Amino acid sequence: MSQSTTSQHHLPGHPHFQTRDGELFAEDVSLAGLAREHGTPLFVYSKSSMLEALAAYQRGFAGRKAKICYAMKANSSLGILQVFAQAGCGFDIVSGGELERVLAVGAKGSDIILSGVGKTRAEMRRALEVGIGCFNVESEGELEVLNEVAISLGQVAPVSIRVNPDVDPKTHPYISTGLKGNKFGVAHERTVATYQRAASLPGLKVVGIDCHIGSQITDESPYLDAMDRVLDLVQAIEAAGIALQHIDFGGGLGISYNGDQPPAADALWAKLLAKLDARGFGDRHFMIEPGRSLVGNAGVCVTEVLYLKPGEHKNFCIVDAAMNDLPRPAMYQAFHAVVPVKSGDAPAHTWDIVGPVCESGDWIARDRLLHVRPGDLLAVMSAGAYCMSMASNYNTRGRAAEVLVDGAKSWLIRERETAQDQMRPERLVPST
């Protein structure tokens, strides 16, 4: 019997992306082949990667009363939402538009949590109409408005109040949400009074408590600290006569972008649940809202090298992906690994990888040693979260196409956006 001589190498932190004889594959599908079929820039997602990340949370909650709600702001493409809906997830949303997206993939209103600091009356009404599972209320003013809206519809709104535990998540300041200086949640010292007000309003029903301290957290200690502070509040709230049906600990678990070592979801929750058990809360109903940790390392962006521009101080590798496709480097100075889709024999040089957008902030990666020539394809790794969901049309650039891979199969889940697509809602002023 003959044996395959194919050389395979899995990329660290991306087990469902591997090189085979020097060519990069997503599961069993060639990225170069997808680029030929669909063009570039192109986002490619591994379904197995998403389900494997979800399975870690499911293992962590085995035997517990828990619900995993995907935080869809990380990636709100319908094909991605469909994967998590079919896997039994609920959804954490932050806008009326996100509500319509999850309804479009068959989610029930009762499986949806509406978060966000600036909910409008229209968003509140629509959420109540579809039987929303819970409003995560973020301010005392919001309580009053939601009460009015619910009464006007003859309904009672289920509410959980998001508390700000003033815990440092040790992450980028733009994605830190649990400190006193952040805009999110009710201040720790105002929590009991806010719950007492909520319980007194006829249009509201208190059902839980919520906490979310940030994103891309790679250290377990902030979670443990936040849990202690939230459980202290649960005791104080219930001592005031207000029962809480669920405790929502949010999301925020990081992924490996550049050798980061975040705790595995099941290992983290083993420690958190041990703390809950020790404090007598182990039988409560729990909710969590992971986003990035489910999709971040499941996606790559394939981009073509357009030009090489050597310089006295910097060498620039100009690609067809840009800050409108991959906003994280420009916004957060974020790191994304960049690897060739096919190995080549070009001489190695250190390059800044930049896009075509007319901004000096339009960069993808800095000081990367690469063997590249014009026409080569590069894969920007860890692009499954906060890339397409934050993409824009700056410079009238169409948003990229998206493909979902499952084994040897692939599906186009978003067509490439054209200039005509962008201009369709616009109107010229009539000539006078």
Hey, which residues are catalytic here? Answer: 358
Q: What phi, psi does 9 have (nearest 5°)?
A: -145, 120
Q: Which amino acid does the sequence have at 166? A: D
3-state secondary structure of 281: coil
Structure tokens at 108: 């029930």
Sign of the Cα torsion 322, 97, 50, 257 reads positive
Sign of the Cα torsion 171, 44, 96, 66 reads negative
Q: In terms of Cα–Cα distance, which of 220, 292, 285 is closest to 54?
A: 292
Distance from C-alpha of 165 to C-alpha of 180, rounded to nearest angstrom: 8
Q: Are 53 and 275 in contact (CB under 8 A)?
A: no
Those residues whose C-beta lies under 8 Å from the C-beta of residue 175, and which sit 6 or more positions away, are 214, 215, 216, 332
Going by the DSSP 8-state scheme, the letter that residue 214 receives in this structure is B
Q: Are 115 and 92 in contact (CB under 8 A)?
A: yes
Q: What phi, psi does 13 have (nearest 5°)?
A: 80, -5
User: Between the CA of residue 90 and those of 27, 99, 219, what are the distances in Å?
Assistant: 26, 12, 26
Q: Are 53 and 60 in contact (CB under 8 A)?
A: no
Q: Which amino acid does the sequence have at 382? A: S
Q: Are 58 and 43 in contact (CB under 8 A)?
A: no
Q: Order the strands of the 29-30 sheet from edge to edge.
A: 8-11, 14-20, 23-26, 29-30
3-state secondary structure of 150: helix
